[in-house]
Amino acid sequence: MNKTKMNMGNMNYILIIFIGIIIIFYSNTLGWLIQSWMHNEYYSHGFIVPIISGYIVWSMKSELAAMENKPSQAGLALFMGGIALQGISVLWTIRSLSGISLLLTIAGVVVYVYGFEFLKKIWFPFLFLLLMIPLPVVETIAPPLQVISAFASAGVANMVGIPVVRDGLALNLPKGSFEVGLPCSGINSIISLFTIGTIFAFITVGSKTMKMTVLASTIPLALVGNVIRITSVLAVATKFGSKVAIDYFHDFSSLLLFIIALAGLFLVGRCFGRLQFKKIF
């Protein structure tokens, strides 16, 4: 009993040391993440990602407590690899690489203190943290999605009888003109729905094929939902004028998009049979 308490005490000291090192090396990274979540509209969901991960780990506390700790020296290699990666990210100013480096060092601490089996047990909430790291590829994808959304929305609008003339990213109506900006490109919807779809796939009981299909469906569902959203704004503008469409309906259309995409997510999962969910609450 005393030996167990002594080991636990040593582990607590080791954790404190590791946490101190992480704070020293990653204070700028943590600050960048928080600033990104506050000001980058694509990653405003970043605040809830660690909260969800933490809750999932907490919900597993009984299983984790029952596991035998098997500390591994390999954790030090992971930790040092993460620190080295942080050095590269600082030298070349690659912010996203710094975020990934942070997760690698955390993985190293977990393996060194608790072992690989522990890390394997919490693989989902750990990897879920990747969704809180802003990736530069988003800025590259958004402009092409703008064009696709404008083209598709104009086509759907004309198909249902709404007279729209597309001029680049501008959608011209008899009662006004609208431009499909970056916020309307659909990238926000893709990131948000992919995050929700990841959680949905995790808590749903089913085959890997079903889970991967649900996850893959988030992208087309988000794009389709975004086109429906833009088309609905055009419909309201045609019927009631552009002022009503922008001042009153535009914000509500975001909720409409979310409902449509979420319903589509459930339908995709339902195609594989009756939905059953893990108990994590």
The dihedral sign for the CA sequence 202, 203, 207, 211: negative
Counts for the chain of helices (H) and strands (E), in that order: 12, 3
CA distance 100 to 111: 17
CA distance 173 to 70: 67
Q: What confidence score (pLDDT) does residue 7 get?
A: 54
Q: What confidence score (pLDDT) does residue 1 get?
A: 44
CA distance 198 to 131: 10
Helices 250-270 and 208-240 pack at an angle, to 10 degrees, of 150
Per-residue pLDDT of the chain (281 residues; tens, 9 = 90+): 444 443 555 667 788 889 899 999 999 999 999 999 999 888 988 999 999 999 999 999 999 989 888 889 999 999 999 999 999 999 998 999 999 999 999 999 999 999 999 999 999 999 999 999 998 888 789 899 999 999 999 999 999 999 999 998 999 998 788 898 887 888 888 998 999 999 999 999 888 899 999 999 999 999 998 999 899 989 998 888 888 877 778 777 777 777 888 888 889 988 887 778 877 65
From residue 135, give the alpha-carbon distance in Å to each of 10, 120, 225, 230. Answer: 38, 25, 23, 26
Cβ–Cβ < 8 Å for 218, 194: yes
What residue spans of 60-94 are helical by DSSP H? 61-66, 74-92
Q: What confidence score (pLDDT) does residue 6 get?
A: 38
CA distance 184 to 71: 48
Query: For the chain, how far is it from start to end, CA to CA, in angstroms?
Result: 33
CA distance 179 to 200: 33
CA distance 233 to 241: 10
Q: What confidence score (pLDDT) does residue 3 get?
A: 44
Helices 95-113 and 2-39 pack at an angle, to 10 degrees, of 170
Q: What confidence score (pLDDT) does residue 215 get?
A: 93
What dihedral do alpha carbons 78, 82, 87, 89 form, nearest 10°?
Answer: 140
Q: What confidence score (pLDDT) does residue 272 get?
A: 84
Domain boundaries along the sequence of the chain: 2-133, 138-270
Q: What confidence score (pLDDT) does residue 5 get?
A: 44
